[in-house]
Amino acid sequence: MPSERPFKLLHSALRMDEALEKLQEAQEDLEKTRTKLQKQEKQITELVTKALGEKAVASNSLLVSTRHKFRSLQQTLNGFQRSFEDRLKTLRVRLDGFEDLLRSHNSSEAALEVERSTQCQMAAALQKTLQSLIDERVRALPDEDHESSFVLPEESHGYIPHPLDGFVRQLITVDQMLTHDPDFFAPSEPYRPVSFLEIGCATGRNLLITKLSGLLHAKAHAGFDLDVNLVRRGQQALGLQDELFVADALTFDYAPYDVIFSYRPIRVPEIQRQLEERMVETLRPGAYVIAPLAEDLACYPDMDCLNGPLAIWKKRKPAID
């Protein structure tokens, strides 16, 4: 999110610039008034000299008192001008300070932008490497003669991997939420270790990352898929024998899990709704669900959406009277 600070700084600098301009205009007006006064004094002296003669001028009390007033006005104007000049100087110094601040802010924003883009490139490179390594391991398995002739039901989605960076972001966000969630409080731990489940996990790429990265403070990782061949491959290629199993999301019992990831296993909306109904029904209160492209989770009064763009939900605990 872009920071508001440069705009605030710019706004203050612009206001100072305006004040400076007004002060300069006031100073110019002052200068004009002073010139006008001097001119008028000269004209009056000339007129009186013409009318009364050189000698009378020196002793004319009206002229003397007018001159006196002119002088004192001039002095007041000089005082104003000095104070204007002082203020102008102060304002200029402040404006310079603001401009320095703005420059340094802009350069640190630029450095941050470079850092951000480097981090994005780094993440993309690591993601590509990881995905290739996992794909290679799965592909390297010998072709199994006894691979099942399993056919996924029409209504299901086949294996479409969720973007890896999005998945990692979702895990990090849930991890941060759990750290502040009193339902998961544990003394001297970030939060009590959770059990993680992925619905329709295919060969278990996401499960492997969750397990190896330690991004979630978890005590148990599990994942299931309806496709027996994907599950077998994941068990063998990724060493997830104990974590992967075959099950149907539409009849599964979700009660034992604290954090569930489900990336739209079902293509047909009506059947996906059935899956969500089953999940919400059996889910334990307080559990988290990360469900990108869910169909209907927003319709359940028990499900609180904690982060819309990242599709993070939590099943509400019943209120204690």
The binding site for ligand SAM (CB under 6 A) comprises 152, 156-162, 198, 200-202, 206, 225-227, 230, 248-250, 263-266
Question: Under DSSP, is residue 241 helix (H, G, I), strand (E, B) or coil?
Answer: coil
> C-beta of 167: minimal distance to ligand SAM in Å?
7
Select from 308, 310, 266, 306 the least CA-distant residue to 287. 306
- In the complex with ligand SAM, the residue whose CB is nearer, 97 or 158, is 158
> C-beta of 227: minimal distance to ligand SAM in Å?
4
- In the complex with ligand SAM, the residue whose CB is nearer, 230 or 237, is 230
Query: Which residues fall within 8 angstroms of residue 267, CB to CB, at 6 or more apart?
Result: 155, 156, 157
- In the complex with ligand SAM, the residue whose CB is nearer, 109 or 248, is 248
Residues 179 and 215: their CA atoms lie apart, in Å, by 12
Q: Of all helices (H) and strands (E), which one includes residue 102?
A: helix 61-139
Angle at CA of residue 307, ends 301 and 311, nearest 5°: 80
Q: What is the 3-state secondary structure (H, E, C) of 267-299?
A: CCHHHHHHHHHHHHHHCCCCCEEECCCCCCHHH
Residues 273 and 276: their CA atoms lie apart, in Å, by 5
Closest residue to ligand SAM: CB criterion: 200
Say how many Å lie between the first and final Cα of the chain, rounded: 41
DSSP, residue by residue, 152-200? --TTB----PPPHHHHHHHHHHHHHHHHT-GGG--TTSSSPPEEEEEET
According to DSSP, the residues that pair with 290 across neighbouring strands are 261, 312
> C-beta of 229: minimal distance to ligand SAM in Å?
9
> C-beta of 231: minimal distance to ligand SAM in Å?
9
The residue type found at 275 is: L
> C-beta of 306: minimal distance to ligand SAM in Å?
19
> C-beta of 127: minimal distance to ligand SAM in Å?
13
- In the complex with ligand SAM, the residue whose CB is nearer, 170 or 314, is 170
Residues 28 and 124: their CA atoms lie apart, in Å, by 61
- In the complex with ligand SAM, the residue whose CB is nearer, 198 or 295, is 198
- In the complex with ligand SAM, the residue whose CB is nearer, 97 or 153, is 153
- In the complex with ligand SAM, the residue whose CB is nearer, 96 or 144, is 144
> C-beta of 215: minimal distance to ligand SAM in Å?
15
